[in-house]
Amino acid sequence: MQKVNFDKIEVNQDWAFDNVRSTEQWTHGYHRYPAKFLPNVVKKIIEDYAPDCEVIADLFAGCGTTLVEAKIHGKVSVGTDINPVAQMITKVKTTPLAPEQLQDAYDSLIENFDRFVEEDFATIQKHERIDYWFESKHKAQIAFLYKTVADMETNEKIKAFFYVCISHILKNCSRWLQSSTKPQIDPVKKIPDPFDEFIRHCQKMIKSNNEFYTKLSEEGHLNTPCNIFLEDARHTSIPSESVDMIITSPPYVTSYEYADIHQLTGYWMEYITDIHEFRKQFIGTSYSGNKSLEVNGSTQAQEIVDALAQGGKHIAQDVAQYFNDMCDVAKEMHRILKSGGYACIVIGNTKIKEVQVRSAEVFYEFLQDTGLSEVSVIKRSIPYKLMPTLRDKTTGKFTKLDNPNCNKVYPNEYIIIMQKNKDK
Ligand SMILES: C[S@@+](CC[C@H](N)C(=O)[O-])C[C@H]1O[C@@H](n2cnc3c(N)ncnc32)[C@H](O)[C@@H]1O
């Protein structure tokens, strides 16, 4: 088979959405999440390619952008993600709450803030990393917030809404360098008051919930089913041939360490016990522990791994593992799609240590090998600020503009649209 190459595809301006701010619409702005979808892209995929479809899936659901858009469009949806923080956020973002009930719960929650006594929470034992990230007064306030929500006499959906609000403010209220996704202390950070942050963000979330609720109720979509499972994208419990359209964006290789990025919520909510084991479950991690340099089923992928191996084995082994994992994900996508169903993958290429890592072309080949056929491959430019664009030339890790030893990565990304052949 001839090697696929997307270099010659022209950037399609219809998919740029440069001046459209959809990231704060509906519940999309509840929680930060690295490399999240631009909601406009998901919306346009649904409207252009499957306006009449019934079931939409996202195997790397992240903070649930696909599932929120599916709900707005009245489509049944199902998502999987290996990250419990992603599951928590997605559940809340896809659960519209009755505005009056939510407002009452909020009013009674914040009444409690006057009763906070720091000493009552000063000795609370959590994880040692919590003591590392938080100043003791703020730690006490956050522990109080969690306890007050847990003790509320309200339903679990409303409590989950407040937990997501707390989760979102953890980074702001910790010593974590605000401008960095990587865990890094900011020694001069002026840390805001957690109660003020909670009130500010919660009010914003309540406004968004009310708009989401009203829209869904006007369209008759309030009860459209939506499920998010804490599962591995390589082997999900989604039934075979049950999905009309997959809209997903896989993790980028050795870029974001989701386990580390979400550690604040992970430790507070007790999702993480052993961070080393937790990291290994993520596709694209640089902690895969894989020792093999062999890639199954793609000569293009094997060439990339071989080229990387010349500069050092460790990163080449991680990339080999990434490609093998993505091959399994392609098979899983084929399994769950109905005959005639679509797989829409948003994916970018990158450069590590001067080697072009053509993840988009490799994944395209994997999908084709499962029996999917190309409908379209769209190239779009990535909007400013949504994605880090610089990697250190030596380490391959993301870096900043002031690093003279850096490469630009992800200036563009591809939307690969494939269809499951009707006779396969
Ligand atoms: C690029 S993000 C997806 C972001 C999503 N499109 C959104 O809008 O939020 C990739 C996701 O893949 C998830 N992931 C990594 N390894 C996984 C695995 N083995 N199974 C399922 N999800 C995984 C990460 O937790 C992360 O949420």
Q: Same structural domain for residues 176 and 199? A: yes
381 with 278, same domain: the answer is: yes
370 and 337 in one domain?
yes
- Give the CB-side neighbour count of residue 69, counting CA atoms within 13 A: 28
What local confidence, expressed as pLDDT, does residue 109 receive? 97
What's the pLDDT at 273? Answer: 84
Rounded distance from Cα 206 to ligand 1 centre (Å): 26
CA dist., res. 238 & res. 80, Å (int): 9
**Closest among 126, 384, 372, 397 to 273, alpha carbons compared:** 126
Burial 166-184 (b: 16+ CB within 10 A, else e): bbbbbbbbbbbbeeebebe
Which of 215, 238, 258 is the last residue in one of the domains?
A: 215
Statement to judge: residues 380 and 246 lie in one domain: yes
pLDDT at residue 385 above 90?
Answer: no
State yes or no: pLDDT of 424 exceeds 70: no
Query: Which of 200-209, 386-395, 411-420 is least confident?
Result: 386-395
CA-nearest residue, atom 7 of ligand 1:
36
Interval 338-363: pLDDT, tens: 999 999 999 999 889 889 999 999 99
313 pLDDT tier (thresholds 50, 70, 90) = very high
Nearest to 293 by CA among 273, 319, 271, 257: 319
Residue closest via CA to ligand 1's atom 1 equals 251
In a domain, 313, yes or no: yes
Q: Is residue 4 part of a domain?
A: no
Based on the structure, what is the number of domains in the chain? Answer: 2
Q: Are residues 195 and 83 in the same domain?
A: no
Does position 289 have pLDDT exceeding 80, yes or no? yes
Instruction: Judge whether residue 423 has pLDDT over 70.
Output: no
Q: In terms of domains, do 246 and 343 share one?
A: yes
The pLDDT of residue 389 is 60
The residue to mutate among 66, 71, 82, 92, having the most atoms of ligand 1 within 8 angstroms of its beta carbon, is 82
Ligand 1 atom closest to Cα of 90?
A: 9
Q: Do 248 and 145 share a structural domain?
A: no
> Predicted confidence band at 401 (pLDDT cuts at 50, 70, 90)?
low
181 domain-assigned: yes
The rounded Å distance from CA 59 to ligand 1 centre is 7
Question: What's the rounded mean pLDDT across residues 133-150?
Answer: 97
Residue 221 lies in a domain: no
149: containing domain: 99-215
Residues 402 and 270 in one domain: yes
Assess if residue 3 is contained within a domain: no
Secondary structure letter of residue 83 according to DSSP: -
> For 82-91, 187-196, 396-405, which range has the lowest pLDDT when averaged over its residues?
396-405
Bridge partners, residue 189, by sequence = none
Q: Please check the confidence at residue 366 and state whether its pLDDT lies above 70.
A: yes
Q: Among the three residues 185, 215, 245, which one is the final residue of a domain in this structure? A: 215
Local structure of 228: helix, strand or coil: strand
pLDDT at 57 over 90: yes
Alpha-carbon distance 336 to 79, whole Å? 12
User: In the chain, what percentage of residues exceed pLDDT 70?
Assistant: 94
Does an H or E element contain 201, and which?
helix 194-219
Q: Per-residue pLDDT for 20 more than 90?
A: no
Cα distances (angstroms) measured from residue 328 to each of 60, 157, 295, 332, 335:
13, 34, 12, 6, 11
Residue 387's contacts (CB-CB under 8 Å, 6 or more residues apart) are: 35, 348, 410, 413
pLDDT tens-digit readout, 220-239: 999 999 999 999 999 999 99
Looking at the CA of residue 248, tell me the nearest atom of ligand 1: 6
Residue with tokens 């929680």: 31
The pLDDT score that the predictor gives to residue 297 is 87
Nearest to 322 by CA among 284, 352, 271: 284
Q: Are residues 107 and 91 in the same domain?
A: no
Residue with tokens 């290994």: 280
Same domain, 125 and 41: no
CB proximity list for 266: less than 8 A, separation 6 or greater: 84, 85, 259, 272, 275, 278
pLDDT at 210 over 80: yes
Q: Using pLDDT thresholds of 50, 70 and 90, give the confidence band for residue 396.
A: low
When pLDDT is cut at 50, 70 and 90, the band that residue 398 belongs to is low
The reported pLDDT for the residue numbered 265 is 96
One-letter amino acid for residue 340 of the chain? G
The mean pLDDT value of the chain amounts to 93
Nearest CA among 109, 193, 180 for reference residue 145? 109
Longest Cα–Cα distance in the chain:
70
Cα 11 from Cα 304, distance rounded (Å): 24
Tokens of 338: 């109905």
Model confidence at 156, pLDDT cuts 50, 70, 90, reads very high
Q: Mean pLDDT across the stretch 65-87?
A: 98
* Tokens matching residue 128: 């040692």
Q: What distance lies between CA 170 and its chain's CA centroid?
A: 18
Region 26-33: mean pLDDT is 97
236 domain residue, yes or no? yes
The verdict on 277 and 394 lying in the same domain is: yes
* Residue 194 in contact with ligand 1 by CB distance below 6 A: no
Q: Are residues 28 and 84 in the same domain?
A: yes
**From ligand 1's centre to the CA of 287, what distance in Å?**
16
Confidence of residue 204 (pLDDT cuts 50, 70, 90): very high
Give, in degrees to the nearest 5, the angle at Cα 184 between 180 and 266: 90
Question: What is the Cα–Cα distance from 227 to 225, expressed in whole angstroms?
Answer: 7
